[in-house]
Chains A and B, each alone.
Chain A
Amino acid sequence: MRRSWNNIGGFLVFAGPSTFAFLSITIVSFLAGLILTFTNWNGLSDDLSFVGLSNYAVAIADGQFWQSLGLTALYVVVVVVLANALAFALAYGLSGRIRFRGALRAGFFTPNLIGGVILGFIWYFIFSQGVVAVGAALGIDALATPWLASPTLAFWALVIATVWQVAGFLVVIYLAGLTTLPRDVLEAASIDGAGGWAWMRSVVLPLMRPTFTICVFLTIGRSFMTYDMNLTLTNGGPYGSTELVAMHVYQKAFVSQQFGTGQAEALVLFLIVAVISVLQVSVSRRREVDL
């Protein structure tokens, strides 16, 4: 009995604060949000009434929601592939003995230290004025067209800025993965004559699978929920063509002031992201190499 009390005491001391924070910040707000989906609250009023499942019906009938979800799915696929490919390539390059390695590592990580809002503003100026000025000065018409005024180019502007930000963070994880690769296996492979592409494909990549699992998981969650960069870089424009789903949900709640519907859409988004993330992790885990 005394021992179990001691255990509880130990738990409270070490995990209590974070459990409290998790409960009060994540679980309570999640439940409050769930309740909100059954009401017609406008965000401020003291009066609200329960409206059953009508918010879900409105959310499911909201064509713009599904459109932005589709766009987000495309964005996630492109960002996950490009960011991880770039980050792995950079990490692989930086893991060797090259000059200015430390400075380069720090340089690639820096974008991640700047908030998404600021990054969005920086890239906004690059795409709306910087690139345009260079294009106009050099007489290159393709560059003189502001990217953010075209739905397709604005989408790619968003991808480029996100990949640039996320890759720096992933580089650190890939570097950690690369440095912990078992030396004996690598040596054995090189004695067996593995080199070049075969070395990469048959030795490094399989051993790096756990790192890929983590990085892909992180990128999926992060890019599905992209809001800050979307807000400051394209603001959903031109004419709503780059409105990702997180932004749509926010607009529904705060701009259209339909909190119930916005929250119902957020819940649908949560379920989709949760299912995809769980599937991704379980599939990737099965393919990992046990040593």
Chain B
Amino acid sequence: MLRKSSVLAAGLTMLLGACSAAGPSGDSSTAKDGAVKFTGFVGGPGILTQTQDAIKVFNKENPQYQMTFVQGQLNQAPYQQLLTMYASGNVPTIFVVDAGDVAKVADKVVDLSGEKWAQEEYPWARQQGAVDGKVLAAPQSATGIGLAFNRKLVEAAIGGAFDPTTIKTRSDLAALFAKIKAAGTAPVIVSPLPWLLAGQFLTKMYDAQGDDSARARFIAQLKAGTADLARDKVFNGLMDTFDLTLKYNLNAARPIAGTIDTDAKAFADGKAAFWFIGDYQWPQLQALGASPDGDGYGIMPVPVSDDPTDPWNQKVVATSSFMMAIDKTVNTPAQQDAAKAYLDWYVHSASGQDFMVNKTGGVPAYRNVTLQPSNPIGRMVAADLQKDRTYTPISGLPADHWNVLGDQMIKYMAGKIDRAGLAKAITAYWKTQK
């Protein structure tokens, strides 16, 4: 009997041991040497090794802190991953979210309004990271979205220097595409990707309605079912441009066959002169052989009308690639301070800026960072930012907007629905939103 009960006791001890090991682990926020340990979920796909290297540098330069990198999953939005992290109580001290998701974590993160870097942000970046006037998140970098172009191909077609600001209308773009096609090159690539089409292209139908209040009014009309897309000037203008790009699409024969990889390769190989994308895609283009030197690549706005004075034809989208926020629910105040020190290092130190701009190809979202982006598309976005030739996209779209309407855009590309059908799908989607 004694033996049996000792086996029983041993079994129970092991079981309880397993339980306690799975639970929150005591005072683990301090290392043996007294350094504050904290975790960072701060690097997306494509910049994993760069981020790991940067964290090593941060730890070396700041021995009072010990930051550990938390690697996320490749094809899941950071917010989705945060849901599981919060559900398990295992939340990184500092984490990234998309700008549109900052408001959703507002009651879980630290108010960063008083930080030194917050005074250096571009106003639009500050606005993207702020909720109710409080700065809750810091932009990792800025990113520009529009028609990326291969200067060599465009100049070969027009027989001279190319100045993207001369393309002021859709007709200008159509004439340019025709010339490029006549020169024997595919004018443009349209990638059949939901996040790109509905998350970054279609959004211009909300953006170009006007300022924040005009955008809000339009969204309210869509939700109420009173917006008439068939007569909406912006929607039709944007779709006319979309039709133009589809007509001149490299993959026109198989419009929905492309993937991000095949299209990036085609663009890097010089198979097409334009590609609707953002400068965030540069690391992949460079890996595929596109040269970062000189001004071989650039980016320009998507025109939405034939009015040469239309400001929406002259500005590219500039937005934050990711926003970084600091958790206050499970991380100790010492850990929160350590994460604040990381942000300070990121924006104000030479090695932080080197990581932000040179290592990851980012465009600074902070005025104090004077380093030039390491890639030509980024340099163009940085110049546009300084010249105020950018606009900030609408925020607060429903979480599944890109997914649901992205599928509809791809159906449109495949010819399964026409413009009226797309308008109907968009209207139907918005009516279900509260």
Q: Which residues of A contact B (CB under 8 A)?
A: 6, 9-10, 12-13, 16-17, 20, 42-46, 128-129, 132, 145-146, 149, 231-232, 235, 237-240, 251, 254-257
Main secondary structure of the interface of B (DSSP, over half): helix
Within the complex, what minimum Cβ distance (angstroms) separates B16 from chain A?
A: 10
Summed over the interface, the residue pairs from A and B with CB atoms below 8 Å come to a total of 79
Contacts of A145 in B (CB 8 A): 254, 257
A256 and B400 form a contact (CB under 8 A): yes
A144 and chain B: residue at smallest CB distance: B254
A239 and B399 form a contact (CB under 8 A): no
Partner of B8, one of A13, A46, A240: A13
B256 and A149 form a contact (CB under 8 A): yes
With the chains together, A12 CA to B1 CA distance in Å? 15
8 A-B pairs with the lowest CB-CB distances in the bound complex, closest first: A256-B400, A239-B407, A149-B257, A146-B257, A240-B407, A239-B410, A43-B83, A239-B411
Known interface pairs A238-B192, A251-B403. Does A42 touch B104 (Cβ–Cβ under 8 Å)? yes
B256 and A255 form a contact (CB under 8 A): no
1/0 per residue, CB under 8 A from A, across B1-17: the answer is 10011011001101100
1/0 per residue, CB under 8 A from A, across B242-261: the answer is 00000000000010110101
Contacts of B5 in A (CB 8 A): 9
Known interface pairs A239-B407, A254-B80. Does A128 touch B11 (Cβ–Cβ under 8 Å)? no
Contacts of B80 in A (CB 8 A): 254-255
* Additional 20 contacts, C-beta under 8 A, given A149-B192, A239-B256: A9-B8, A12-B12, A16-B11, A17-B15, A43-B83, A44-B83, A44-B105, A128-B262, A146-B254, A146-B257, A231-B75, A238-B192, A238-B410, A238-B414, A239-B408, A251-B403, A254-B83, A255-B80, A255-B403, A256-B403
Contacts of A46 in B (CB 8 A): 107
B7 and A13 form a contact (CB under 8 A): yes
Partner of B410, one of A232, A237, A254: A237
With the chains together, A93 CA to B113 CA distance in Å? 71
Partner of A44, one of B11, B15, B86, B400: B86
With the chains together, A213 CA to B262 CA distance in Å? 44
Known interface pairs A13-B8, A239-B411. Does A251 touch B257 (Cβ–Cβ under 8 Å)? no
B11 and A12 form a contact (CB under 8 A): yes
Most chain B Cβ neighbours within 10 Å, of A43, A46, A145? A43
Q: Does B82 contact A (CB under 8 A)?
A: yes
With the chains together, A159 CA to B211 CA distance in Å? 49
B108 and A44 form a contact (CB under 8 A): yes
1/0 per residue, CB under 8 A from A, across B397-429: the answer is 011100110011011001010000000000000
A236 and chain B: residue at smallest CB distance: B407
Within the complex, what minimum Cβ distance (angstroms) separates B421 from chain A?
A: 12
Contacts of B105 in A (CB 8 A): 44
Known interface pairs A44-B105, A254-B83, A255-B400. Does A12 touch B8 (Cβ–Cβ under 8 Å)? yes
With the chains together, A149 CA to B399 CA distance in Å? 25
With the chains together, A12 CA to B83 CA distance in Å? 35
With the chains together, A45 CA to B87 CA distance in Å? 10
Within the complex, what minimum Cβ distance (angstroms) separates A19 from chain B?
A: 10
Q: Which residues of B contact A (CB under 8 A)?
A: 1, 4-5, 7-8, 11-12, 14-15, 75, 77, 80, 82-83, 86-87, 104-105, 107-108, 192, 194, 254, 256-257, 259, 261-262, 398-400, 403-404, 407-408, 410-411, 414, 416
Contacts of A132 in B (CB 8 A): 257
Contacts of A128 in B (CB 8 A): 259, 262
Partner of A17, one of B11, B192, B404: B11
B15 and A16 form a contact (CB under 8 A): yes
A231 and chain B: residue at smallest CB distance: B75
Within the complex, what minimum Cβ distance (angstroms) separates A173 from chain B?
A: 32
Within the complex, what minimum Cβ distance (angstroms) separates B45 from chain A?
A: 13
Within the complex, what minimum Cβ distance (angstroms) separates A39 from chain B?
A: 14
Contacts of A238 in B (CB 8 A): 192, 256, 410, 414
Within the complex, what minimum Cβ distance (angstroms) separates B3 from chain A?
A: 11
Contacts of A232 in B (CB 8 A): 75
Contacts of A12 in B (CB 8 A): 8, 11-12
With the chains together, A238 CA to B400 CA distance in Å? 17
B414 and A239 form a contact (CB under 8 A): yes
Within the complex, what minimum Cβ distance (angstroms) separates A263 from chain B?
A: 13
A-B CB contact pairs (8 Å), 13 listed: A12-B11, A13-B11, A16-B15, A17-B15, A44-B82, A44-B104, A149-B254, A238-B414, A239-B256, A239-B408, A255-B77, A256-B398, A256-B404
Known interface pairs A129-B262, A239-B407, A240-B407. Does A257 touch B416 (Cβ–Cβ under 8 Å)? no
Contacts of A231 in B (CB 8 A): 75
A146 and chain B: residue at smallest CB distance: B257
Within the complex, what minimum Cβ distance (angstroms) separates B341 from chain A?
A: 26
Contacts of B416 in A (CB 8 A): 239
B410 and A6 form a contact (CB under 8 A): no
B15 and A251 form a contact (CB under 8 A): no
B14 and chain A: residue at smallest CB distance: A17
Contacts of A149 in B (CB 8 A): 192, 254, 256-257
Contacts of A254 in B (CB 8 A): 80, 83
A251 and B400 form a contact (CB under 8 A): yes
B417 and chain A: residue at smallest CB distance: A239
With the chains together, A2 CA to B43 CA distance in Å? 60
With the chains together, A177 CA to B399 CA distance in Å? 50
Within the complex, what minimum Cβ distance (angstroms) separates B23 from chain A?
A: 12
With the chains together, A254 CA to B75 CA distance in Å? 13
Contacts of B108 in A (CB 8 A): 44
Within the complex, what minimum Cβ distance (angstroms) separates A182 from chain B?
A: 40
With the chains together, A240 CA to B409 CA distance in Å? 11
Contacts of B411 in A (CB 8 A): 239
Contacts of B398 in A (CB 8 A): 256
Most chain B Cβ neighbours within 10 Å, of A10, A145, A251, A257? A257
With the chains together, A257 CA to B434 CA distance in Å? 13
Contacts of B261 in A (CB 8 A): 129
Contacts of B407 in A (CB 8 A): 237, 239-240
B399 and A255 form a contact (CB under 8 A): yes
Contacts of B414 in A (CB 8 A): 238-239
Within the complex, what minimum Cβ distance (angstroms) separates B396 from chain A?
A: 13
With the chains together, A240 CA to B261 CA distance in Å? 20
Within the complex, what minimum Cβ distance (angstroms) separates B315 from chain A?
A: 30
Contacts of A239 in B (CB 8 A): 256, 407-408, 410-411, 414, 416
